[in-house]
Amino acid sequence: MAVGTIAIVILTYTMDTLAKEAPMSRRRQIYEGKAKVLFEGPEPGTIVQYFKDDATAFNNKKRGTITGKGVLNNRISEYLMTRLSEIGIPTHFVRRLNMREQLVKKVEIIPIEIVVRNVAAGSFSDRFGLAEGSPLPRSIVEYYYKSDELGDPMVLEEHITAFGWATPQELDEMLSMSIRINDFLTGLFFALGIKLIDFKLEFGRLYEGEEVRVVLADEISPDNCRLWDVKTNEKLDKDRFRRDLDRVEEAYQEVARRLGILPEGGPRDLQGPDTIQ
């Protein structure tokens, strides 16, 4: 190999390595979750969300990797949060920084997972003995208390307000936003030939001077939505991983493709340098 070629190979390798590692080492890590790492943001009141390819299910009992998931979820969540803010839903999203990172506003996460369901599936099907895919008479909203130790138990409004996890006013706001988000996303996905079966949302308190506002936080992606192809009912979400189905990566890619946001270069680009826009 010519000296020039060797130099280029070394340079390319070094740049690629730096690109992958720089954001991780430069920033102070605040928290590492199952699918994301949170770093201190560049300005006060901001946080950097780094999307990993790691996947877990059944309260951490099943672990694995879905190649390219972090890159796709970063884009999918950016896209959906941006569309939602356009219809007046306040969100924590500021901007995407690179392939795996996005800048978000620092919020105090309200420890409640809000699940909205349009069609019976998963734990709901088990609980009520309803075949997966049975349409519900109307959308149903459920609350779960965020606690790995307790396995995220389902809770009532009574528990939430009595234990002070959220005030009645905050709960009202979260509920009305969740219903609006469901209506909007159901239409958005249906136009792409996808049924929004159910999904999970998280909200946070945004402190702005004297004011506190409840805003949509976390992420919206195939990790926390059930998405089925309208014609075939094929699952295009994390259930493919949970249930050991094939073509897990392809399902995430298909959602991004239909949203028109598959990274340029297609699937080959999914493991590329992290810091390139």
- For ligand UDP, the binding residues (CB under 6 A) are 115, 121-124, 152, 198-200, 224-226, 238
CB of 198 to ligand UDP, least distance (A): 4
CB of 9 to ligand UDP, least distance (A): 42
Q: Give the Cα separation of 255 and 221 in Å (integer).
A: 9
Tell me how far apart the terminal alpha carbons of the chain are, to the nearest angstrom. Answer: 32
CB of 215 to ligand UDP, least distance (A): 18
Residues 6+ apart with CB under 8 A from 64: 54, 55, 56, 241
Q: Name which of 124 and 189 has its Cβ closer to ligand UDP.
A: 124
Asked if 107 and 113 touch (Cβ cutoff 8 Å), the reply is no
The alpha helices in 87-232, defined as continuous H runs, are 122-128, 157-162, 168-190
Asked if 213 and 206 touch (Cβ cutoff 8 Å), the reply is yes
CB of 193 to ligand UDP, least distance (A): 18
Q: Name which of 121 and 177 has its Cβ closer to ligand UDP.
A: 121
Residue with the CB atom nearest ligand UDP in the bound state: 122
Q: Name which of 72 and 97 has its Cβ closer to ligand UDP.
A: 72
CB of 123 to ligand UDP, least distance (A): 4
Q: Name which of 97 and 114 has its Cβ closer to ligand UDP.
A: 114
Q: Give the Cα separation of 166 and 157 in Å (integer).
A: 9
Could you give phi then psi for residue 276, rounded to 5 degrees? -80, 135
Return the bridge partners of 228, or none.
195, 235
CB of 275 to ligand UDP, least distance (A): 28
Q: Name which of 98 and 224 has its Cβ closer to ligand UDP.
A: 224
Say which residue the tokens 């519900």 belong to.
136
**CA 140, 143, 146, 152 torsion: positive or negative?**
negative
Asked if 224 and 199 touch (Cβ cutoff 8 Å), the reply is yes
CB of 33 to ligand UDP, least distance (A): 11
Q: Name which of 122 and 273 has its Cβ closer to ligand UDP.
A: 122
Work out the number of other CB atoms within 10 angstroms of the CB of residue 188: 16
Q: Name which of 33 and 42 has its Cβ closer to ligand UDP.
A: 33
Cα angle for residues 95, 99, 101 (degrees, 5° grid):
50
